Structure 1
Amino acid sequence: MQVPPVFIDMSPEDQAQELRVYLKGLGAEISEDKSPKGIEDDLHKIIGVSETCFKEGQETEVEMVLNDIVSIMVLIPLERSENLILAFCEKLTKAQGTKLSIICLRALWLLFQSLDDRSPMRYPVYYHLIQIAKITDSVKLVYQDIDHLKQQFAKCPPSSDQLQKLYRLLHEVLLKSNQSEQAAMVMIELLGTYTDKNASHAREDAIRCIVSALADPNTFLLDPLLSLKPVSFLEGELIHDLLNIFVSENLATYLEFYKEHKEFVTSQGLNHDQNMQKMRLLSFMQLAESNQEILFEMIEKELQIRPDEVESFIIEVLKTKLVRARMDQSAKKIYVSSTMHRTFGRAQWQQLRDLLHSWRGNLSSVQEGMKSVTAAQLELINQQ
């Protein structure tokens, strides 16, 4: 989000005086006189009644007031401005109405960008930004991806507790805005903040991560979750068993699990029909890994679908681009050209290694062939 910088050609004291007069004119309970305690006390009182402009001022005037406050606040030394910044953030998160909240979002973003990269106050400002983004469904304005977020705090990293709090909020906001892939990455990053010493305390986060990944219709590579310490501490629990089914088992195994633990699946907020659809896709990927040709009859049996549903199911699979294949309706077959692996362990790395060695061998053969052709052409030229 691009917010233009604010340049005001007057002293902070004069700016504060104008803000006092303006807010009092709107009905705020504030004196027009400067505080004898200095600019910090002036600004503290201005922030305390700044919501008056939310109720009475025009949108452009509200933004001007908030930007004026920011322009004064960033000139005050950090050791004297921390409480002012926190009070300003709290005030803006309480603004009512989408348009007004968007103005507050821009003002906080201006403050965030104006603070020194090494300032520890950038964290609380950003946290409140995400809170407002949740209200306005505008997280895309202040969040790009996890790497960009890390760059924002590279010179003054938040504590582990602060990061965990921020990641939890971000995960919630991204899910709310239907950015499930970004939400999954944030949740994995959250679990990565736990160490061997405190991973056992991450139980709720780990369960939330698993459930979100299982429920997301666009997440199919679930194997990496098993390597996360907080997830490994759940081994032996039903949620861990369910994750393993989605990682490497087939539809029949899921149905057996669901039959025995129906209430558990429902209690996690998971939808059985959506689970079935996802497991069918994953089971088909498993078939495609080991079979270049798949009969319709095998699909009917393994995925438990009717003969008249096979073709439409295959079309849906091809739309996901998880599997590249050609369907032959007359022969009732599917010819697989490639598929995404459900898991990527030692066997897959070995397969990739063998493939790369094969390519290298082929390239060497081509290179030698080209040398022979070049030598033959040179010899022919010399003879002429």
Structure 2
Amino acid sequence: MQVPPVFIDMSLEDQAQELRAYLKGLGAEISEEKSPKGIEDDLHKIIGVCDACFKEGQEADVEMVLNDIVSIMVLIPLERSENLILAFCEKLTKAPGPKLGVVCLRALWLLFKSLDDSSPMRYPVYYHLLQIAKQTDSVKMVYQDIQQLKQQFANCPPSSEQLQKLYRLLHEVLLKCNQSEQAALVMIELLGTYTDKNASHAREDAIRCIVSALAEPNTFLLDPLLDLKPVRFLEGELIHDLLNIFVSENLTVYLKFYKDHKEFVTSQGLNHEQLMQKMRLLSFMQMAEANPEITFEMIEKELQIKPEDVESFIIEVLKTKLVRARMDQSSKKVSVSSTMHRTFGRAQWQQLRDLLHSWKNNLTCVQEGMKTVSVAQMEMMTQQ
């Protein structure tokens, strides 16, 4: 097994010549001689055959070769390196197997971080990073959350079309890597990129966003979707009706919808049993808003749960922390202390406003009381 050369204190041309020799030794069809056209042509030819190291090199050897290519590429002025970067990205997305794929992911991440924050090439590099992350189930290596992603492109934001393309791919990657909650958030961001002028063209994205949110077991606040422009264009369609049911209706309404439109629900890739469980949780939240005490009998009736399954259901509800309550098995009831609202509209804002005013008044009373106590203490000290 040949050992890749280590390039220390070499000119770019000498580094390129060493890479040529190493790749030729692996059987690549490339000359060892420098190109008379300069370093860009050298690097173009090297990138064209760099996948030779995938076939025979160990992971450490492959990573060293790829990192050496990156170290040369980032020193070439951007106006002369764009095509080289794109060719390198394409080559790395074709690495065989997950282990070499992760090696390529690290090399491409090194390239991404080495580019200037304002470089327009950061977008295509990151897009190819996500493609490799999808192949290797390694999205956590290149994505934390939507805010971190926006910061990556703060100095050179992609166009709306580029951002939409990126979000669609990111959604696919997150779903494949079992990050369904993050995937749902990305879809909401995607719909937020549409304006009044082009919202009508976002039909497929809007449907995908609704389906993703309904299927995500930990997403319960769904009414913000109704305010998204592309979702409004779906009014009157079955998918919009289904979303409305999960925003404000109960289990009975959902079951009727499913009975009437079973094929539609299935065609969207939605699981009826999972939707029923989610609707039971949402319906329980709605019950908790109106009833400080909920009997087991009410739960059995409203949520269509067998008597022997009520306690386990309540435990599942409490685990979600959507409702804070205490279960009394002997009295067969649940005492609710607080619950998350299914919707947050004008009534909830008014309730929050009243609560804040109440806190403000209470704090004022406490402050006045403390002043009174302080004055009394001062008078006592003066008298003494």
Give the TM interval when normalised to the shorter protein: over 0.9
Q: Following superposition of structure 1 onto structure 2, how do residues 60-79 of structure 1 map, counting pairs within 5 Å?
A: 60-79=60-79
Instruction: Report the CA distance shift for 1:121/1:8 in structure 2 as closer, same or farther (over 3 A).
Output: farther
Is 1:46 aligned with 2:29?
A: no
Q: Is the 8 A contact 2:7 2:15 kept in 1?
A: no
The correspondence of residues 74-153 of structure 1 with structure 2, limited to 5 A, is 74-153=74-153
TM-score under structure 1 normalisation? 0.97
**Equivalent residue runs for 1:148-163 within 5 Å:** 148-163=148-163
Quick check: 2:171–2:186 contact (8 Å CA) kept in 1?
yes
Letter in 1 for 2:62: V
* AA at the equivalent of 2:383: Q
Compared CA separation, residues 207 and 346, structure 1 to 2 (3 A): same
2:355 is equivalent to residue 355 of structure 1: yes
Q: Counterpart in 1 of 2:166?
A: 166
- What pairs with 1:306-321 in structure 2 (closer than 5 Å)? 306-321=306-321
Q: Distance in 2 between matches of 1:145 and 1:207?
A: 22
Distance 1:7 1:189 in 2: 44
Query: Displacement of 1:378 after TM fit?
Result: 2.2
8 Å Cα contact 2:191-2:205 kept in structure 1:
yes
Matched, 1:246 2:262: no
1:293 and 2:293 aligned? yes
**Structure 2 unaligned blocks of 5 or more:** 1-5
SS class of match (1:325)? strand
Partner of 1:193: 193
The answer for the alignment partner of 2:235 in structure 1 is 235
1:24 corresponds in structure 2 to 24
In the other structure, the counterpart of 1:213 is 213
CA drift of 1:383 comes to 2.5
For residues 84-117 of structure 1, what are the alpha-carbon distances to aligned partners after superposition, in whole Å with 9 as ceiling and x for unaligned? Answer: 1111000000000111111111110111111111
Q: Distance in 1 between matches of 2:230 and 2:119?
A: 31
Matched residues in 2 for 1:174 and 1:20: separation?
38
Aligned to 2:175: 175
**Cα contact 2:70–2:107 (8 A) shared by 1:** yes
1:224 to 1:7, Cα distance in 2 relative to 1, 3 A: farther
Task: Give the 3-state SS of the residue equivalent to 1:34 in structure 2.
Answer: coil
Letter in 2 for 1:241: D
Residue by residue, what CA displacement relative to the aligned partner does 1:303-336 show, whole Å, maximum 9, x if unpaired? 1112222111111100111000011112221110
Query: How far off is 1:145 after superposition?
Result: 1.1
Gaps of 5+ in 1: 1-5
2:58 alignment partner in structure 1 = 58
Q: Which amino acid letter does the alignment assign opposite residue 356 of structure 1?
A: L
- SS, match of residue 235 in structure 2: coil
Letter of the aligned partner of 2:368 in structure 1?
A: E
Given that residues 285 and 339 in structure 2 are in contact (C-alpha distance below 8 angstroms), is that contact kept between their aligned partners in structure 1?
Answer: yes
Tell me, what secondary structure is at the counterpart of 1:338?
A: strand
Q: For the aligned residues, what is the CA RMSD?
A: 1.2
SS in 1 for 2:202: helix
Matched residue, 1:3: none
Check if 1:381 corresponds to 2:375: no
| Cα distance between partner residues in 2 of 1:72 and 1:377 | 76
The offset of 1:7, in angstroms, is: 8.0
Q: 1:271 to 1:99 in 2, by over 3 A?
A: same
Shift of 1:80: 1.2
Following the alignment from structure 1 to structure 2, what is the Cα–Cα distance between the partners of residues 178 and 69? Answer: 33
Counterpart in 2 of 1:346?
A: 346
Residue of structure 2 in register with 1:14 after alignment = 14
Is the Cα–Cα contact under 8 Å of residues 174 and 183 in structure 2 kept in the other structure?
yes
The answer to which of 273-282 and 368-377 deviates more is: 368-377
Q: Which amino acid aligns with 1:378?
A: M
SS at match of 2:269: coil
Distance 1:257 1:26 in 2: 63
Residues of 2 paired with 1:57 and 1:374: CA distance? Answer: 79
| Structure 1 partner of 2:3 | none
For residue 334 of structure 1, give the secondary structure of its aligned residue in structure 2: strand
Secondary structure, aligned partner of 2:157: coil
Matched residues in 2 for 1:7 and 1:191: separation?
A: 47
Match of 2:223 in 1: 223
CA shift at 1:382, angstroms?
Answer: 2.4
Q: Tell me, yes or no, if structure 1 residue 260 matches structure 2 residue 260.
A: yes
The CA distance in 1 between the partners of 2:63 and 2:313, in whole Å, is: 53
Q: CA deviation at 1:8?
A: 3.8
Aligned equivalents of 1:325, 1:59: Cα separation in 2: 54
Give the CA deviation at 1:380. Answer: 2.3
SS in structure 2 at match of 1:154: coil
Give the Cα separation in 2 of the matches to 1:171 and 1:141. 15
Q: Tell me whether 306-315 or 280-289 shows the greater mean CA deviation.
A: 306-315
Superposition TM-score, scaled by structure 2 size: 0.97
Q: CA deviation at 1:267?
A: 0.7
> Would the alpha carbon gap of residues 290 and 8 (structure 1) be closer, same or farther in structure 2, given more than 3 Å must change?
farther
Shift of 1:354: 0.3
1:195 is paired with a residue whose SS is coil
Question: In structure 1, what residue type is equivalent to 2:272?
Answer: H
